[in-house]
Amino acid sequence: MSDWKPKRFWKAATPQACDGGFTVTLDGRPVKTPAKAALIVPTLPLAEAVAQEWDAQTGLVDPRTMPVTRSANAAIDKVRTQRAEVIGLLSEYGGSDLLCYRAPAPDGLVMRQRQVWDPLLDWAARDLGVTLTIGEGVVPVPQPAESLDILQRELDYVDDFGLAAAHDLISLSGSLILAFAVMRRHLDAARAWDVSRVDEDWQTSQWGVDEDAAAAAAVKRAAFLHAERFYHLSRPEQRWH
């Protein structure tokens, strides 16, 4: 980022309107992305969130504490320049959606998957017009071509900032359906994350907590919840705190 310095040099980060949307200035100097593109976002709430991250920096600038800025950079520098590739990558999850791969045993896990995942597939059929086939084990389950086409078209409708969020919602959960459920506010991210963790939670209930696995899962959960916040911040006429 051209304005990025190892130490804070600005007095105030200010969100403001600009051609094409909203930006953030540091003492009047527009922030740029790591690829030196103008950091222009689609909504004022998103620009405000970026500005808050810059204003929160003290001493050395720590990008790890600036998730909204990082996601905005990704939308501009990565998604915008590789949009077709990103959509192609994400649409592939439709053919291997987590919700379609069921355990053959034990009965308790089989029932839990059915109770938690079937309602989401029913929702997808009603809301998205997508019918997916359920299988057992890890053997690939062929999905209807029409359903896969619909899922790809739905991704085509999402703008660059939405796709940056969708990337994390999909890749972290392993489910296109769960991602769309969050994006359409059918589920909040906290509930969707729990839905994606049915298998892991079952194992924990049987064998106890693996501390390392739990720590890694906590990091992923935080990223998943951030993706939801970023998605809704980037939607026009919506405010997300």
Residue 22 is part of a domain; what is its CATH number? Answer: 3.30.2180.10
135: in domain: yes
**How many domains are contained in the chain?**
2
| Confidence (pLDDT) at 8 | 86
Query: First vs last Cα of the chain: how many Å apart?
Result: 26
Same domain, 64 and 101: no
Looking up tokens 């911040």 gives 233
Q: What is the pLDDT, as a whole number, of residue 34?
A: 94
Q: Within this chain, do residues 136 and 188 fall inside the same structural domain, yes or no?
A: yes
Predicted TM-score of the model (pTM) = 0.93
Judgement on whether residues 201 and 158 belong to the same structural domain of the protein:
yes
Domain that holds residue 214: 83-233
In a domain, 5, yes or no: no
Low-confidence ranges of the chain (pLDDT < 70): 1-6, 237-241
Calpha distance 37→25 (Å, rounded): 14
How much is the pLDDT for 6?
63
* pLDDT of res. 65: 95
Residues 107, 220 share a domain: yes
Q: Tell me, what's the pLDDT at 1?
A: 41
Give the per-residue pLDDT at 92: 96
Domain boundary among 28, 44, 68: 68
Whole-angstrom Cα distance, residue 31 to residue 83? Answer: 23
Check whether residue 38 and residue 115 sit in a common domain: no
**C-beta separation of 39 from 32 below 8 A:** yes
**For residue 159, how many C-alpha atoms fall within 13 Å in the half-sphere facing its CB?**
13
Question: What confidence score (pLDDT) does residue 59 get?
Answer: 85
Distance between CA atoms of residues 88 and 100, nearest Å: 20
Contacts (Cβ under 8 Å, ≥6 apart) of 201: 194
Structure-block tokens of residue 162: 């939405």
Q: Residue 195: which CATH number?
A: 1.10.3580.10
Contact at 8 Å (CB) between 173 and 225?
no
Shared domain for 94 and 165, answered yes or no, is yes
> Residue 45 falls within a domain, yes or no?
yes
**pLDDT reported for residue 237:** 64
Q: 194 and 121 in one domain? A: yes
